[in-house]
């Protein structure tokens, strides 16, 4: 019984975490194909913004490395962080999709997850590099 309650709580929490891009698109669009199109558009926008933010942040970190004589190797640390983020993004959102047990909405949930995490990463980069 205790395990069942923990599972229900975990699934409820997982659903609450998904409030974001998926919910926004579902409120804006009534039909599933329109929701998917909304998610695709928002994901493309988020990925393009992330690429630009990563370039700007890399430039700022390269400048910082020059000022500090590369003492802290911030550009290298940023590069490692970007690679780790991409691995996390893929694995986390694959888990979100699998939690739908191949049911309806798994692909949309995965896209929503990717958007939400990408937007969080954008906020983190902006906070640390003045983007």
Alpha-carbon span 27 to 35, nearest angstrom = 9
Integer angstrom CA distances of residue 33 from 9, 37, 40, 66, 110: 31, 6, 10, 49, 15
**Digit-coded pLDDT (tens) for 6-64:** 434 444 444 444 469 888 888 877 677 888 999 999 999 999 999 999 999 999 999 99
**Digit-coded pLDDT (tens) for 67-118:** 999 888 999 999 999 999 999 999 999 999 999 876 788 999 999 999 999 9
- The residue segments making up the domain with residue 63 are 2-129
Can you give the CATH number for the domain in which 111 is found? 1.20.1270
Looking at the 3D structure of the chain, how many domains does it have? 1
């Amino acid at each position: 019984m205790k395990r069942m309650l923990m599972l229900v709580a975990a699934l409820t929490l997982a659903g609450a975490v998904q409030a974001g891009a998926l919910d926004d698109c579902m409120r804006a669009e009534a039909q599933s194909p329109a929701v998917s199109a909304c998610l695709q558009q928002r994901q493309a926008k988020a990925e393009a913004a992330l690429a630009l933010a990563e370039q700007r942040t890399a430039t700022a970190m390269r400048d910082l490395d020059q000022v500090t004589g590369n003492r802290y190797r911030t550009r290298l640390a940023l590069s490692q962080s970007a690679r780790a983020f991409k691995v996390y993004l893929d694995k986390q959102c694959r888990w979100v999709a699998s939690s739908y047990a191949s049911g309806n909405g798994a692909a949309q949930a995965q896209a929503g997850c990717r958007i939400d995490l990408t937007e969080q990463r954008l906020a983190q980069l902006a906070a640390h590099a003045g983007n």
